[in-house]
Amino acid sequence: MQNLLIQISPIGRNVMPLIIKPGPCCQRFHRCFTTGRVSYSRLNAARQHFTRHKKLFPGLLSQVVRQSATAAEAAAPEISQKAQKIVGGWLLSCAGMCAGAVLLGGITRLTESGLSMVDWKLFKDMKPPRSQQEWEEEFEIYKQYPEYKYVAQEKGDMTLSEFKFIYYMEWGHRMWGRGVGLVFALPALYFLKKGWISKALKPRLAIYTALIGFQGFLGWYMVKSGLQEQPNSTDIPRVSQYRLASHLGSALLLYTLFLWNGLAHVLPPAQIPDFKQLARVRGMAHGLMAAVFVTALSGAFVAGLDAGLTYNSWPKMADRWIPDDLLAISPKWKNIFENATTVQFNHRYLAQGTVVLISAFWLMVRKYPLPIRARLAVNCLAGMAFIQATMGILTLLWYVPTHLAATHQSGSVVLLSMATWLALELRRLPK
Ligand code: HEM
């Protein structure tokens, strides 16, 4: 039988010389590859072909899989493409649930509902009060805490129906959190049993489980800080900004991990033509992801200290580029986290810096031969950065209206998603 040398070079990068013994079943493969340059659909055809005739081509399958499949499939060629897509869809649903929890958490905070449930019980909390008597009992318990006392003093007595509203907001957020756990855990058990979870994904499932549990703990740890008596009776009872930032940061981390792995399961990696600056571009994409993450965390400090209400002008802070009271607290480092002026100042400049970096990146990569999806991700990231910054500025100028502040918070999740997607598109393929 005559040997046939075929060079497969998908989009020019990884040239793959293969020696193939043609048999009757190779006709289709031959037709696909005689041109040398092949598309993904053709690579997929080859992949299916090799899967069907494994015995004929020992050792060849993994090479073609690496060229044609998603990164997850390349790492676990023994798991079918369909199963990998289902696992990817599940991970993306978990990411969606996390994004929903962030949005709901933001609205809960902005409607000042977060301190209405004054204890935490995994199962008992799932049942809200039902009868009039149960509601009244719950309301009486809430009345003993500083938030009610402050509200009653500043705005007059709260009615039972007002209490029901804030209670349901907090209850909804807590139930959503449990929903994230269920949407993650039940399919995880099923997929593990079916053998659809690759070796690489298994330790990550353990990380997700730990992070989901930790998220619940942080949520309660944060609420607890808002239930303590304030040193001064005129102080607004609010949760610790450190705990708020940790709760938001850990939610964003969980979201990003779900999104990254979900996308890696459903998007076939594009072959990036080798160009000199590729390694730098990859590093910068990861840097942008980190910049968006840090900016979002600094936003949580603004939210935690109500620092959005200190200077409501832009671009200057009350006619000054650098306000006087930037270092009012001693020791100086505390200003970064505890001085509302400094916290707002930092968030502004971190955000503006992030927008400048994203714009510079967008300009820089225009001349590089990026695959189409990576190019789309860069464009979306740049567009979203401007939208997010505009929303932030308007949130300041309009004295933090709930709907805009909540949209601004969700915008940060969208921006982080764009940055994650971009970094994923530019990732190195598994060898
Ligand atoms: C890359 C751009 C930006 C990102 C990723 C971002 C992210 C965030 C996040 C995550 C929050 C916390 C929201 C919450 O926990 O409820 C926040 C709050 C805030 N941000 Fe930004 N932000 C950006 C740009 C800006 C800009 C340019 C300004 C104004 C100059 C701004 C002003 C504010 C204000 C006033 C708040 C407090 C809103 C509240 O109390 O709920 N942001 N930001």
Cα 39 to Cα 36: distance, rounded to the nearest angstrom? 10
Q: Which residue has the tokens 């081509």?
A: 57
Q: Among 260, 294, 318, where does a domain finish?
A: 260
Backbone dihedral angles phi then psi of residue 20, each to the nearest 5 degrees? -130, 135
Q: Among 68, 90, 114, where does a domain finish?
A: 68
- What is the whole-number distance in angstroms between the Cα of residue 396 and the centre of ligand 1? 9
- What is the whole-number distance in angstroms between the Cα of residue 344 and the centre of ligand 1? 9
- What is the whole-number distance in angstroms between the Cα of residue 4 and the centre of ligand 1? 61
User: Is 73 within a domain?
Assistant: no
351 lines ligand 1 (CB under 6 A): yes
The bridge status of strand 16-20 relative to strand 4-8 is antiparallel
302 lines ligand 1 (CB under 6 A): yes
- What is the whole-number distance in angstroms between the Cα of residue 400 and the centre of ligand 1? 10
**Long-range CB pairs of 331-338, under 8 A, 24+ apart, other chains included:** 337/241, 337/242, 337/301, 338/241, 338/305
- Give yes or no: residues 363 and 256 share one domain: no
C-alpha distances out from residue 241 to 114, 144, 273, 292, Å: 14, 23, 45, 19
pLDDT band at residue 374 under the 50/70/90 scheme: very high
pLDDT band at residue 234 under the 50/70/90 scheme: low
Backbone dihedral angles phi then psi of residue 119, each to the nearest 5 degrees? -145, 180
Residue type, 198: S
User: Is 75 within a domain?
Assistant: no
| Dihedral angle of Cα 223, 228, 230, 236, to the nearest 10 degrees | 30
Label residue 102 exposed, middle or buried (CB < 10 Å: 0-12, 13-18, 19+): buried
- Give yes or no: residues 256 and 110 share one domain: yes
Cα 336 to Cα 84: distance, rounded to the nearest angstrom? 44
Q: Which residue has the tokens 């918070």?
A: 409
Cα 153 to Cα 147: distance, rounded to the nearest angstrom? 10
- Look at residue 60 and tell me whether its pLDDT is greater than 80: no
- Give yes or no: residues 11 and 88 share one domain: no
pLDDT band at residue 239 under the 50/70/90 scheme: confident
- Give yes or no: residues 173 and 300 share one domain: no
Closest ligand 1 atom to the C-alpha of 106?
16
Concatenating the DSSP letter of every residue in 6-18 gives EEE-GGGSS-EEE
User: Is 298 within a domain?
Assistant: yes
Q: Among 232, 260, 288, where does a domain finish?
A: 260
pLDDT band at residue 12 under the 50/70/90 scheme: very low
pLDDT, one tens digit per residue, over 391-418 is: 999 999 999 999 999 999 999 999 999 9
pLDDT band at residue 272 under the 50/70/90 scheme: confident
- Give yes or no: residues 176 and 273 share one domain: no
Q: Smallest Cα–Cα separation from 114: which of 7, 225, 252, 200? A: 225
Label residue 406 exposed, middle or buried (CB < 10 Å: 0-12, 13-18, 19+): buried
Which of 246, 293, 302, 402 has most ligand 1 atoms within 8 Å of CB, for mutation? 302
- Give yes or no: residues 106 and 238 share one domain: yes
Angle, alpha carbons 411-371-252 (nearest 5°)? 25
pLDDT band at residue 80 under the 50/70/90 scheme: confident
The whole domain housing 61 covers: 4-68
299 lines ligand 1 (CB under 6 A): yes
pLDDT, one tens digit per residue, over 104-163 is: 999 999 888 878 888 888 777 788 998 999 999 999 998 888 888 888 777 778 899 999
Q: Element (H or E) spanning 5, and its range?
A: strand 4-8
User: Is 74 within a domain?
Assistant: no
User: Is 197 within a domain?
Assistant: yes
User: How many other C-beta atoms can be found within 10 angstroms of the C-beta atom of residue 374?
Assistant: 22
Tally of domains in the chain: 3
Cα 362 to Cα 400: distance, rounded to the nearest angstrom? 30
Buried b (16+ CB within 10 A) or exposed e, 317-355: beeeeebeebbebeeeeebebbbbbbbbbbbbebbeebb
- In three-state secondary structure terms, 329 is coil
Query: Which residue has the CA at smallest separation from atom 11 of ligand 1?
Result: 299
What are the residues facing 19 on neighbouring strands?
5
What are the residues facing 8 on neighbouring strands?
16
CA 237 to chain CA centroid, nearest Å: 29
Cα 371 to Cα 362: distance, rounded to the nearest angstrom? 14
- Give yes or no: residues 344 and 371 share one domain: yes
Of 70-84, 118-132, 285-299, least confident by mean pLDDT is 70-84
- Give yes or no: residues 329 and 180 share one domain: no
- Give yes or no: residues 286 and 411 share one domain: yes
- What is the whole-number distance in angstroms between the Cα of residue 175 and the centre of ligand 1? 26
Backbone dihedral angles phi then psi of residue 51, each to the nearest 5 degrees? -60, -40
Dihedral sign (CA 146, 151, 154, 158)? negative
339 lines ligand 1 (CB under 6 A): no
Closest ligand 1 atom to the C-alpha of 110?
41
User: Quick one: what percent of the chain has pLDDT higher than 70?
Assistant: 80
- Give yes or no: residues 390 and 372 share one domain: yes
- Give yes or no: residues 275 and 256 share one domain: no
- Give yes or no: residues 60 and 94 share one domain: no
Mean pLDDT to the nearest integer, 91-115: 93
CA 2 to chain CA centroid, nearest Å: 53
Label residue 233 exposed, middle or buried (CB < 10 Å: 0-12, 13-18, 19+): exposed
The angle that helices 340-365 and 372-397 make with each other, rounded to 10 degrees, is: 150
**Long-range CB pairs of 400-403, under 8 A, 24+ apart, other chains included:** 400/306, 400/308, 400/309, 402/107, 402/110, 402/111
User: Is 180 within a domain?
Assistant: yes
- What is the whole-number distance in angstroms between the Cα of residue 136 and the centre of ligand 1? 37
